[in-house]
Amino acid sequence: MFRLLVAWVGLAFIFFGGSASLPSILLSVYGLGITFPALMETSIGGQWAQATAWVVHGIAGSLIPLSASGTSISMTTSGGEVLTVLVNEKCSGAASISVFIAVFALMSLDTPLPGKTRIAMLLFGIAGTVAQNLLRLVLLLLAGYYAGPGAAADMEGMGGYVLFPLWYVLFAYVYLAYAARYRKTLQPVS
């Protein structure tokens, strides 16, 4: 499908020239969104998962009794069941970072910021996205410990769908506040 879209945008450039630039930018954002998780998983996925598991074990381990081995975190739940969670490349946050970068790119097209501020906001956003994923995993472990493996499975499936939008609302508020200040500097003084 992506190759077909690239071909259509190429034809649009041939027939319509510069007016095809916006579709090509949007297609590039889409391409980044679908390829970034796979690129991250194949390049640094194992190390990223290991680091994520280490941080999550450190945070959650200060709240509940856990043991860890590599990217595997184990516990005996409060109900006496053994629960083991594997933090692999898929759940270490590559997809959320990809979604964040794609939405950030669209937002910065619509509401641009100057270069250094845009880069700072991108880095802030990626850091916040990583933090919300760590929080999601910690909450997954806490749910598993206090409510059992079923609750951990529910948190695995739904946690990101709740936490990521909440994080992005906060990020958008900060971004738009900076954009409003930037627009004020561009307005002529009368």
> What integer is the mean pLDDT of 163-179?
96
> What integer is the mean pLDDT of 155-176?
93
Give residue 38's pLDDT. Answer: 87
For the beta carbon of residue 152, count every other beta carbon within 10 angstroms.
Answer: 23
Give residue 173's pLDDT. Answer: 97
Is-contact 154 160, C-beta < 8 A?
A: no
Give residue 3's pLDDT. Answer: 75
> What integer is the mean pLDDT of 114-142?
96
3-state secondary structure 25-60: HHHHHHHHHHHHHHHHHHHCHHHHHHHHHHHHHHHH
